Amino acid sequence: MRIGMRVRYDGGFREVAAEIGELERAGLELVSVAEAYSFDAVSQLGYLAAVTDRMELTSGILQAFTRTPTLTAMTAAGLDAVSGGRFTLGLGASGPQVVEGFHGVPYDAPLTRLREIVEICRAVWRRERVEYAGRHYAIPLPAGQGTGLGKPLKLINTPVRERIPVTLASIGPRNVEMTAEIAEGWEPIFFVPEKAAGTWGASLAAGTARRDPALGPLDVRVGVPCAIGEDVAPLRERSRHELALYLGGMGARGRNFYNELAVRYGFGDAAATVQDLYLAGRKDEAAAAVPDGLVEATSLVGPRGWVAERLVALRGAGVTTLVASLVQPERRDRLRTVEQLRELAGDL
The Cβ of residue 98 has, within 10 Å, a number of other Cβ atoms equal to: 20
Please give the average per-residue pLDDT across 91-98, as a whole number: 90
Q: Report pLDDT for 12.
A: 80
Q: Report pLDDT for 289.
A: 97
| CA angle, residues 203, 205, 206, in degrees to nearest 5 | 65
Kindly state the helix (H) or strand (E) to which residue 241 belongs, with its residue range: helix 239-244
Please give the average per-residue pLDDT across 57-78, as a whole number: 96
pLDDT exceeding 70 applies to what percent of the chain? 100
CA dist 177 and 188 (Å) reads 12
Q: Answer yes or no: is pLDDT of 347 > 80.
A: no
Query: CATH 3.20.20.30 spans which residues of the chain?
Result: 2-227+302-345
- Residue 166 has phi, psi (to 5 degrees) of -120, 130
pLDDT digits (tens, 9 = 90+) for 224-278: 999 999 999 899 998 999 999 999 998 888 889 999 999 999 999 999 999 999 9
- Pairing state between β 62-63 and 138-139: unpaired
Q: Residue 280 corresponds to which amino acid?
A: A
3-class secondary structure, 237: coil
Indicate the average pLDDT of the chain: 95
More confident call, 252 vs 1:
1
Q: Report pLDDT for 60.
A: 92
pLDDT digits (tens, 9 = 90+) for 174-203: 999 999 999 999 999 999 999 999 999 999
The model's confidence at residue 95, banded by pLDDT at 50, 70 and 90, is: confident
Contacts (Cβ under 8 Å, ≥6 apart) of 124:
70, 73, 74, 77, 130, 154, 155
Q: Answer yes or no: is pLDDT of 207 > 90.
A: yes
Q: Report pLDDT for 96.
A: 86
pLDDT digits (tens, 9 = 90+) for 12-54: 888 889 999 999 999 999 999 988 888 999 999 999 999 999 9
Q: Answer yes or no: is pLDDT of 9 > 80.
A: no
Q: Report pLDDT for 216.
A: 97
Q: Report pLDDT for 144.
A: 82
Please give the average per-residue pLDDT across 75-90, as a whole number: 98
Say how many CA atoms lie within 13 Å of 228 toward its Cβ: 21
CB 57 within 8 A of CB 83: yes
Q: Residue 236 corresponds to which amino acid?
A: R
The model's confidence at residue 281, banded by pLDDT at 50, 70 and 90, is: very high
CATH hierarchy code of domain 2-227+302-345: 3.20.20.30
CA dist 35 and 52 (Å) reads 20
290: left (phi over 0), alpha (psi -120 to 50) or beta: beta
- The lowest-confidence range among 161-175, 195-209, 244-258, 317-331 is 244-258
Q: Report pLDDT for 13.
A: 87
Strand pairing partners for 321?
A: 2, 221
Each residue of 165-177: b (16+ CB within 10 Å) or e? Answer: bbbbbbbbeebbb
Helix, strand, coil percentages for the chain (3-state, nearest 5): 45, 15, 35
The Cβ of residue 206 has, within 10 Å, a number of other Cβ atoms equal to: 16
pLDDT digits (tens, 9 = 90+) for 113-151: 999 999 999 999 999 999 999 999 999 998 888 888 899
Q: Report pLDDT for 8.
A: 79
CA dist 235 and 241 (Å) reads 12
Q: Report pLDDT for 222.
A: 98
